[in-house]
């Protein structure tokens, strides 16, 4: 890490290709003998290099915008046949782009969206393959901002109303109902809610087949969580195995293809944000470690009060002390840790903020006119720059100077 920081500067995102592919292999092992496709959730980390890495292993992609589709298509036009398009607010422009690309399936979230999709498919003279994203009203213990499976959430169609919507859609010349989709939230660490959701989906699939609608696939969504805290043990293969067992048991042997949409689970623990200590300062009883990374680079601690382990790259003698690790952004909410006991840090030291491979760079911004970090992908002993550090010229480029 130290050599990478010297070569590429800080703040710096560093990812492990071996870790990402290892996680993908865990899904292959856990779902062995079951017809399935892993569709990586692009929103977790949309780096072209990571998309290329996963595409090379035959993974599919779960997208939520036309921009994400264009990222996938820039990696491989053929990958479109492995793309599922989710999201509650698709525009007609995005639908047209996806229809032209001939994606695998649209995950439709409302009757109004389905009407618009039929109109665009007719205009394009193309059949639109779709699944309804049903809301199973299953509670998953996670942060309220990333819980999506209850009736009061904006996502999906009430599972009780879905059968009627499918029947109506089946009469359309331009719509082909081929799947059922569900996603109950993110960062879920128990397999039980996934099993409960699949049980309700299985019941709907049986009802639809009774109606003559031959459902070919079930999109189980994503949401499988990780442990961000060092004090909790985490065995990823064991977690994927439990997840697979819970879902396949409650599906009851229905012959469908399972679409799986992991994001965080594949990439979060592959990545770290490396930052340099600018200052160590005391305000009364508080000690602040000020780094050159800020909330614009990694917003999860500020947005979700999320915990990330912070590891000094140089271990100094002198014991530990309780500090706040903060950034230079002009916000009190610009912090990575509060009242955290850490080994002694001094000006110029490097720290690694761990488990930052998901929702780090993809949620970053240019707040305070701060250029975003560079990104590096490590494969074995080889490190490659996959995104250069932004410059002020990059930030000002799209703007119009009226002077």
Residues 328, 294 contacting (CB under 8 angstroms): yes
- Alpha helical stretches, state H, 211-275: 236-251, 264-267
Residues 89, 288 contacting (CB under 8 angstroms): no
What does the DSSP 8-state code read for residue 247?
Answer: H
Helix (H) or strand (E) holding 291: strand 286-291
* Count of helix runs (H) and strand runs (E) in the chain: 12, 18
Angle at 113 between CA 108 and CA 119, to 5 degrees: 115
Has 330 been annotated as catalytic? yes
**Closest CA relative to residue 201, chosen from 131, 128, 110, 109:** 131
Q: Which of these is catalytic: 152, 282, 315, 330?
A: 330
DSSP bridge pairs for 299: none
Q: How far is CA 100 from each of CA 66, 91, 118, 174, rounded to the nearest angstrom? A: 12, 14, 14, 14
- The contacts of residue 223 (CB under 8 Å, 6+ apart) are 140, 142, 183, 184, 185, 186, 187, 188, 194
**Active-site residue set:** 330
């Amino acid at each position: 890490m130290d050599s990478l920081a010297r070569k590429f500067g800080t703040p710096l995102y560093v990812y492990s290709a071996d870790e990402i592919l290892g996680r993908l292999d865990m899904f292959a092992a856990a779902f062995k003998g079951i017809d399935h496709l892993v569709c990586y959730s692009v929103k977790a980390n949309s780096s072209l290099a990571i998309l290329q890495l996963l595409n090379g292993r035959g993974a599919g992609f779960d997208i939520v915008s036309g921009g994400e589709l264009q990222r996938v298509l820039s990696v491989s036009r053929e990958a479109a046949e492995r793309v599922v398009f989710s999201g509650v607010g698709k525009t007609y422009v995005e639908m047209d782009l996806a229809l032209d690309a001939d994606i695998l399936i649209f995950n439709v979230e409302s009757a109004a969206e389905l009407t618009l999709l039929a109109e665009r498919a007719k205009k394009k003279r193309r059949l639109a393959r779709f699944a309804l994203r049903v809301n199973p009203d299953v509670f998953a213990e996670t942060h309220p901002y990333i819980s999506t499976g209850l009736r009061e959430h904006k996502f999906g169609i009430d599972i009780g109303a879905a059968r009627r919507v499918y029947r109506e859609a089946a009469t359309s010349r331009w719509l082909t109902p081929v799947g059922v989709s569900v996603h109950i939230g993110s960062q879920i660490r128990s397999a039980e809610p996934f099993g409960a959701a699949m049980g309700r989906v299985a019941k709907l699939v049986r009802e639809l087949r009774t109606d003559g609608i031959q459902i070919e696939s079930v999109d189980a969504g994503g949401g499988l969580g990780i442990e961000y805290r060092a004090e909790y043990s985490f065995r990823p293969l064991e977690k994927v195995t439990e997840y697979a067992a819970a879902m396949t048991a409650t599906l009851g042997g229905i012959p469908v293809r399972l679409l799986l949409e992991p994001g965080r689970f594949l990439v979060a623990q592959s990545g770290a944000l490396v930052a340099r200590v600018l200052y160590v300062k005391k305000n009364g009883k508080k000690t602040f470690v000020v780094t050159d990374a800020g909330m614009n680079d990694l917003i999860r601690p500020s947005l979700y009060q999320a915990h990330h382990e912070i590891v000094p790259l140089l271990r100094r003698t002198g014991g530990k002390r309780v500090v706040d690790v903060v950034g230079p952004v002009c916000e009190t909410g610009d912090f990575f840790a509060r009242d955290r006991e850490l080994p002694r840090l001094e000006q110029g030291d490097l720290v690694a903020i761990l488990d930052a491979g998901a929702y780090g760079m993809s949620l970053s911004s240019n707040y305070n006119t701060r250029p975003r970090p560079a990104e590096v992908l490590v494969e074995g002993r080889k490190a490659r720059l996959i995104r250069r550090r932004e410059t002020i010229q990059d930030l000002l480029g799209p703007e119009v100077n009226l002077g």
